[in-house]
Structure 1
Amino acid sequence: MLPEKDADILKANCFKTDYLVIDLELTGLNAKQDEIVSIAWVPISHQRIQIGSCQHFINNQVNNLNQSPVFHGIDSDTLAEGVPLNEALKILNELIDDKILIFHNQELDWSFLRLAFNKAGLLHKPLAILDTMQIEHKRLARQGQVIAQDSLTLNNCRERYRLPEYSCHNALTDAMATAELFLAQANQISRGKPLLIKHLM
């Protein structure tokens, strides 16, 4: 996905580009009625995950946690330690301009994030958006593999690259897991040769 097509970005070397990997924990799958419970991001610069610049915020304004305590381990006590969502969005908004964003299932997370930015009156101008789930789908399809319904989950994608399984399930852990997956995918696809951003879209 490329919000504003830019030939220079499409032709950029993917190994020399700055990325921001984002993950959200949600109360459901409908961006118009469900809520963002937590948000985290992990920067990547020149193939290195910038551990010291990772951030994780919990939204203390969630109205209905639904199954979040079960799926995410976030309960009302955890919420009380969080911040208003708009505070996190303002910080994130300052980071995403001129960056390529990465999600695992960007169709879901970006729909929530875009709507939240719009409600907060924040402009967002990422250079492009990559999706590790779509990257993996295309890679498997090119190999002629049968793609099972659950074969594109984050854990199953990571398993194919022999990446370690993360037992903790929260936005920061999943953002880190997605960052590692993206680096593994890029190196697997390139096989030591130059790889452009457009080859990952």
Structure 2
Amino acid sequence: MSVHVEKASEDKVLLLACGALAREIQALIRANGWQHMVLHCLPAQLHLTPEKIPDAVEAAVNSKRAEFATILVVYADCGTGGLLEARCRKLGVEMIAGPHCYSFFDGNEAFANAQESEFTAFFLTDFLVRQFDAFVWRPMGLDRHPELRDMLFGNYTTLIYLAQTDDPELDAKAEVAARRLGLAYERRFTGYGDLARALAAIA
């Protein structure tokens, strides 16, 4: 998926992003009038096989590099164990800071400071609430073997929904997800957190 704008190539910025962030990035582009930014998303399903993310990012960077003066990789580490950061460094492109999207939505500093008290929390974002079955329930085999729930989530106590938007429908879905996982429910409004700040820094 790409959002194209007409502007001189030397002024254009490519946002090479995870598909799970498409809605949020588009909202920030619209709200701030960043017409020089071009969004290109890789499939969100790559999160199910994070070892494939660095190669997918490299292929996209190489295919787009000639068109853009600046490329920002809008992924966090996302389970690559530092491999994506190393690949971006090799390619000479910047990437957004943070271990995962939960952290940069909450704010990397705030998220890190809360880990001692929230180490038994399971996190969802707007995207993961919408795609709970596709990205949590089915990949973990809970649709076929619901008895796995207590084994997989027995060490968690709370589902924390990090909300990017105020949407009662998503809030209700997140609360249902918490019940399905047998967890207490907490909603925390984060907005776009460090994602907004990272994009503003290159605007």
Same fold (TM over 0.5): no
Larger relative contact order (Cα-Cα within 8 Å, sequence gap ≥ 6) = 1
TM-score with structure 2 setting the length = 0.33
Determine which structure has the larger helix proportion and give its number.
2
TM-score with structure 1 setting the length = 0.34
